[in-house]
Each structure stands twice: as C-alpha cells, then as structure tokens.
Amino acid sequence: MKWRVIFATVLSTVLFCGCAGKSESATEVAGAMFSYESMEEGVEEVEEAEEESSVRVVSQRDLTGSGDSGGSSVTYIAEGEIVSLYAEKARFSNAAKFEGDWQRVELESDSAGDIRITDQNKEGFSFEGFFVYAMNTGDCKGTAYFVSSDTAIACIDEASETYVAFHKVGGTLYISHIGDISTMDMDVTPDGEYIKS
C-alpha cells in the first residue's frame, strides 16, 4: 500500500507542477501504473464477450449524463437500482471470476485507481481499493455480495445508502457507486472501467 501513496504523491506533484502540459502526458509519466498491452488485451476480451446479464446496466454516458447511450455498450449498474438489487443477494456457484488485482483504465489523466479482490466464494468476495483524483486520494474496502453471476454489490454504509456495484463483462470490470464514501477526499471515486493488472 505504501507504493500507492508514493505514486499518488508523485502523480499529484507532476500534475501540480504543470508537467501535463508538456510533450509528455500525465498518462506517459505515470505509465508504470499499468501496461498498454494489458489494456489492449482487456478491450479485446470485452469485444469478444457476448455475455447477457440478469441485471439492468447502463452506459457510462448514461451515468455521466452526457447524452443518450447511442449504441454504446451497456456496462454499468443503473444507480437507481443498486439498493434494490443488493436486497436480492444470493449464492452463485457459476459466478464470474472477480479475484485479482485490477487497475482503472483512465479517460482522464488526473485520476487513477487500483482494486484488489480476494476470498471469492459462492456468496461474494472481499475487496480493497486505492483511488486518486488530482491531488486527492481515498480508499474503500468491504465485502460485495453476488446479485447475479456477473454482478456483486457491497454496502459500505446502509444508513447513508452508500453502495459500490461491481459488474464483470469478459475481462473487464465496471465499478459504480452511490452515496458518499467517507474514506475518500473530494471528487475521488472508485467508478470506472478496470482491467486485470
């Protein structure tokens, strides 16, 4: 976990010093975070996967409110359905394999995320993640429970209705959340598309 703090500090310093405006992008400077080859492999696996989920999902465009899905892939859990889906926890012997170390594939150069998923069984799995946005950091951990063979949801705080949803399509993991995660600084979120590292 120490390397993540060091990485966050270095990334923040690079971005703060204005190095992102030079010929190297912040992604190139922080290239050690993940390899582009593994990123390309993850994209190919998603394109090849023709999985159907019993859980209603929406596109990233729907989540961010930047227009209709316009044919883009449907990969994120609809925020309005996360709480009701969590109530449908069940055991799935044929659940997708979520275990492993995952890294967020970034569209923005000033954010990053790593999540480790362990102890998967028929009911769910444990997870722990570290996330960065600009100079802010945060972490999140808990236990996610399966609501379908390719979807699990963790209740971070039931009183404030804070949940994290995991949806796996092929070799890609899509994470979204609702509510305020108290262990995360301003604008830090686990939301995004992840590939195995």
Tens-digit pLDDT profile for residues 88-142? 899 999 999 999 999 999 767 788 999 999 999 999 999 999 999 989 999 999 9
Q: How far apart are CA 131 and CA 194, in angstroms?
A: 12
pLDDT in the model for residue 103: 96
In a domain, 123, yes or no: yes
What's the confidence (pLDDT) of residue 45? 37
Please list the residues that pair with 77 across neighbouring strands. Answer: 57
Domain that holds residue 124: 34-196
Residue 66 in any domain: the answer is yes
51 domain residue, yes or no: yes
In a domain? residue 75 = yes
Give this prediction's pTM: 0.65
Task: Judge whether 151 and 77 are in contact, CB under 8 Å.
Answer: yes
CA angle (66, 72, 73) in 5-degree steps: 120
User: For residue 14, is it within any domain?
Assistant: no
* CATH code for the domain in which residue 143 is found: 2.40.128.120
User: In Å, how far are 10, 23, 106, 115, 157 from 100, measured between CA atoms?
Assistant: 25, 34, 19, 8, 24
* Residue 159 in tokens: 């009183």
Q: Is 148 within 8 Å of 96 (Cβ atoms)?
A: no
Residue 96 domain flag: yes
Of 148, 147, 142, 187, nearest in space to 163 by CA: 142
In a domain, 88, yes or no: yes
All residue ranges of the chain with pLDDT < 50 are 1-3, 5, 7-8, 10-54, 56-74
29 within a domain of the structure (yes/no): no
List Cβ neighbours of 116 (8 Å cut-off, separation of 6 or more): 100, 101, 102, 127, 128, 129
CB 150 within 8 A of CB 169: yes
The whole-angstrom separation of Cα 183 and Cα 171 is: 28
If one counts the domains in the chain, the total is 1
Residue type, 10: V
Residue with tokens 């892939």: 73
